[in-house]
């Protein structure tokens, strides 16, 4: 994609401290599975980005925990924050959707607007709830028996607990 390559090259000049590597999509998907720790940020077209944004979190066992951001760095247009899985209409109303992706997207929104304290608090709450791995809290995509509401309430309780410690 010559246009895309030219745009990336132009942007890369503005960020000389950032290493730029180019991959074909087929080998990139293999590297995502074999060496996920190598990647920090991946820039790609919408088609490839959609594929990779599902593959990456699926390697953890669920796409339910992954946030997503479509950023407009110069702020001329709105940025969009959402879970990688989108609205998940196939499970709407069943109470089994993992809320972490949406909550984490909210954390990224706070961070984007400079609300570091709120962003840090929210991320700590997410991490603490996930670290406990309580089967009655975790949703079915994480091999738990919890519900969307229950998982959300656990994170809200953890926000209060972490906030009291600060």
Measured in whole angstroms, the distance separating CA 17 from the mean position of its chain's CA atoms is: 24
Same domain? 71 vs 93: yes
pTM for the model stands at 0.81
Range of the domain at 86: 63-166
Predicted confidence (pLDDT) at residue 113 exceeds the cutoff of 80: yes
Q: How many CA atoms lie within 13 A of 102 on its CB side?
A: 11
Measured between alpha carbons, how far is 87 from 112 in angstroms, rounded to an integer?
22
Measured in whole angstroms, the distance separating CA 125 from the mean position of its chain's CA atoms is: 15
**Which of 40, 59, 78 delimits the end of a domain?**
59
Per-residue pLDDT reduced to its tens digit, 64-104:
999 999 888 888 999 999 998 888 899 999 999 999 999 99
Predicted confidence (pLDDT) at residue 27 exceeds the cutoff of 90: yes
* C-alpha separations of 14 from 7, 21, 23, 42 in Å: 11, 15, 21, 17
């Amino acid at each position: 994609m010559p246009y895309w390559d030219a745009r990336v090259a132009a942007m890369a000049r503005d960020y000389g401290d950032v290493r730029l590597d180019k991959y074909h999509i087929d080998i990139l998907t293999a590297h995502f599975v074999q060496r996920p720790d190598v990647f920090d940020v991946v820039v790609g077209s919408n088609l490839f980005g959609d594929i990779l944004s599902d593959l990456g979190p699926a390697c953890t066992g669920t796409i339910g925990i992954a946030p997503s951001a479509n950023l407009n760095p110069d702020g001329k247009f709105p940025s969009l924050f959402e879970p990688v899985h989108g609205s998940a209409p196939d499970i709407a109303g069943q109470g089994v959707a993992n809320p972490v992706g949406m909550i984490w997207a909210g954390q990224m929104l706070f961070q984007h607007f400079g609300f570091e304290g709120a962003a840090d608090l929210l991320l700590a709450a997410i991490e603490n709830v996930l670290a406990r791995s309580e089967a009655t809290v975790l949703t079915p995509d994480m091999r738990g028996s919890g519900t969307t509401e229950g998982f959300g309430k656990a994170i809200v309780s953890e926000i209060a607990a972490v906030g009291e410690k600060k």
